Every structure is written in structure tokens, then in C-alpha cells.
Structure 1
Amino acid sequence: MKSCHQTRMIFLRFFILILITGIGSSCAFVDNLNAIPRPIIWTETPLPTATIAWFPASVTPSPQAFSTYAPTPEMRPGLSAMLVTDDFSKKSLWDIAASDQASAAIDNNRLNLSAQSGIYIISLRHDLSVDDYYAEITARPSLCRADDSYGILVRANAVAYYRFGLSCNGMVSAERISVGTRELLQKPLPSGDVPPGAPGEVRIGVWAVGTEMRLFLNGRYQFSINNPNYLNGTLGVFINSAGDNPVIVSFSDLTIQEIDYVPPPTSTP
């Protein structure tokens, strides 16, 4: 009886031990379900880095034949001996005057012209009459803007002349003036040699032979005109205020060269 009782006690203890072990294992499993999982960090295998071609191969161009142009013809043919040099040291050689509207004065070897708004003024050289020649003079605008203009007078007298004008907006033109009337011989053209306003400096040149006259600025050809009305005369300069502001331009270093040139005959159709 005692042994049977002992056997039952052993069996009961064994059963309780198994039950406790099972309950502990179940609690551990539940705890693992409720735990926050560690995030999985996905890593991609990086792509191979592209190799930079610092000096990529290029196709060697085939030799190219460039067009060959004939040289530009001499636009001032026949330049000969120096005829006149004027350093503007003699006031008696030019028209000079002064008023509230405009003035022409020689000072420090320059002929200084100034004009108020809307005023046009010219100054002619005395004791000079030439027909075929190349003349150059330096102009320095110190107050000039927009459509204000200045320039050189060719084959001139007091009431008639050819006028080569430079506008302060970068244009050049040519006109024939006769007793207050104006004939446009060359419409305004843009030129990179014209000073854009003031201050500035430009060397104005005119090649005149027969009925043809060619304008040069800083030695570069601009255009030519043909007109038979005036074949000789003196030289002069001018300024014109076209806007609401005054204009001031000085002129200096006049030179006149003779021309030894005979124009080719004009072909008759």
C-alpha cells in the first residue's frame, strides 16, 4: 500500500513538472510574438562607377580647302605730295565767331565748335580752293548724343558744299547742300568707326577725284558718292544739335594730299 502510494506521488510530481515546463515554454513563445522585430535594412550591390573619358577620341577632320578671295583694291589710289598741313595755330585761316547760340574758336591747336539745342554751325578754311585731293582731319566729340552730328564739308563755299556727316548714334551719311536746300546722296549707314557718343575720337578722310568722293574713317573705307555739281572749293567742318542738348566737337590736324590719278574711262553699253 505504501509503495502504491509512493508510486502515485512520483507520477503526480512528474505530471506537474511536465505541466510547468509546458507553461513556461508557451509564455516564451508569446513574448517573442509581441516583441518589436528589428527592421531589415536592404542593401543593393552598387553599380560599377562609370569611367570618365577626360580626353575622348575625336574624328580627325579632313583638310578643308578655303576660298581664296582677291585682295581688296586700293581705295585711295594716286596719293601724292602733301599739299596742305594745318595745325590750327593761325586763327585767321578759319571762320571764328561767338554768340549766345553757337561759337567757333581756335585754342590749343584745335578748332572748337559748340552749338545750343537746334543750332547748326559751319566753319570754312580761308584761301583754299582744291579739286582733286585726299584730305584728313581729326574730330573729337566731347558733348554729343543720339541724332546730333558733325563732320567735314568738301568742295565748299559759303552757300553750297558736300557734307559728310557722322551721327552720335553710330551712322554716316552724305548730302549736297545748295542755298539752304538739301539733297541726300547717301542714306545713313551704321559704322563701327563712328564714336558712340562722347567723348571720342575719329580720323575723317575724303578722297575726291572728278565727280567721285569716297569717305574714310580711321583709314577704313565707308562708301562713295558721285555728283557733278561742285568740282572744286574749300574745306570746312560743321556740327548740328538735333536734340534738346548742346553739342561740342573739336577739330585738329588737317592734312591735304595731291592726287595723281586718272579714273578709268566709263564703258558705254
Structure 2
Amino acid sequence: MTNLYEAYQLMGLPYFTWTVSGVLMLWVNNSNPLISGKLITAQSSFFDSGPIFSTTPTGLTQYVEYGNYSINYVAVLMYRYGSEMAHTEQSGVFNAFQLFNAVMEYGTLSENFTETAQETLPSGEVFTLSFAGKYPIVFNVTAYITPLGPTTKYPYPAAYVQYATVNLTMMAREEGSTPSMAYKSDIDETLNSYGFMNLSLLIINPYGGAVIIGISGNYARTSKDLVSVVTYSSPVGIPGWLEQFRALAVSPNATDLIGYYQYVILRLMRVGW
């Protein structure tokens, strides 16, 4: 992890989180243990534009960052009885875009990636597994504070209003095949959320410290839609499955902050039967 001080200078915050993904797993077979391996190909690349800040003609601050990566490995794995060729490829791109000022923030985040793993036995049998995914996110937040008293002396009362929308999408496809089976899985999922709240605050210091002394307005509406399909092309005659899910949750006012489900629909059915 590098450039932490630079990130602190750019963002003005010392708080960051990281997500580390990726794991190497080895199937341990005591009757045919792995003896050795030989790396044939090892290629990788990574590019990150870094944060790019600019100012729009309307006075908004614009933030852009984008990048891509690729990994390609080929190895021969030697077992006590026989060997196999293992090939793994991964590639992806990511983009981030934001517009913001003192009262609003709009942003889009996206990640597209593909992963493929293939193993070939000396007998010519091939095992493959591939996964592709897209995760676009769009959000829009507006918030402002209106002082309700003189701001020269602390504490003083203020009104806080916030409106926000968040739209999440996941599109994923998985395909796998062995000498005796082949399947495909597709998932499309969307989540849309909208809400606002009105708070009564007591500003206690010039550094942004405040205490919530009342909630005069609250509303939130979140919907989720999911369609998942799993089908088999081999062997013939194995049924697939279709799952459909829909739900709408509402938090209607300041006295019912937990809210309720307006509807929940779940449907499961066989396909290709």
C-alpha cells in the first residue's frame, strides 16, 4: 500500500479502507499428491490513472480515476501419478467519476472483469471455469445546513436536509464444463434506493461537531429485482432453474424509521425440462 500521504493530501481525510481479493487454492488428494510444478508463463499488468481533479465551467469539482489490469499464468503441475496443464487468465477495467460542491455530490463507479481457469489432463480431458461480471453504481446526494440562530456563539441551532438516491446493478455470468457436464449461470440484479431526512441540529463547535436533537422528516424507498437462471447443456435431460425475486421496502415517516415491506415476490421454476 503506497502513496497514503498523497491520498491524504488529495482527499483531506486520513481514513482509508482496502479490500484484498484473490486466493490460491490447491486440491489435496492424498492418493495422488502434488510433487512439483513448473511455471511456463507469468504475465501481469496494472494501470491506475490516479485521481484527476478539475473544475467545471459551472464551478463544480470533478474527480476522475480509471484503470485496468490483466493476469495470465500457465503452469505444469506434476503429481505422483501423471501431470496436468493449468491456465488462468484475469482481466478487468474500473472507472470512477464524481461531481461535487459544498451541498451536492454525484458519482458513478463501475467495474468490469473476466476470469477463466482451464486444466488439461494428459489424456486430453479439459476442465474449464469462467466468470464475468459488471458492477455499475450511480449515486446522487444533496445536503445543506441552515443556521437558525447567530453563528458567532456556540452552541446554536440549525436545520439539516438531505436527499439521496443510490442505484446498484450486478450482472454476472458463470460457465463451467467437465468431460461429463456443462452448465451456465446468469444473474441480473438491481437495487434502487431513494430517501430524504430533515434533522434539527445543535452545532457545538466550529469544526463540524453537531448533536441531533430532533427528526422532523424521514422517508426511504428501496426496491430490489433479481433474475437468476441456471441451465445445463450436458448431459441432456438435466433441468435448469429460474429464480425471480422482487421486493419493495418503505420507511414512511419520522415515527416509523424501521418501515415495512410493501411487497415481496419470490418465484422458482424449472426450465429446460
TM category (shorter chain) comes to: under 0.3
Work out which structure has the larger RCO, using CA pairs closer than 8 Å and 6 or more positions apart in sequence: 1
> TM-score, structure 1 length as denominator?
0.19
TM-score by length of 2: 0.19
Q: Radius of gyration: which is bigger?
A: 1
Structure holding more strand per residue:
2
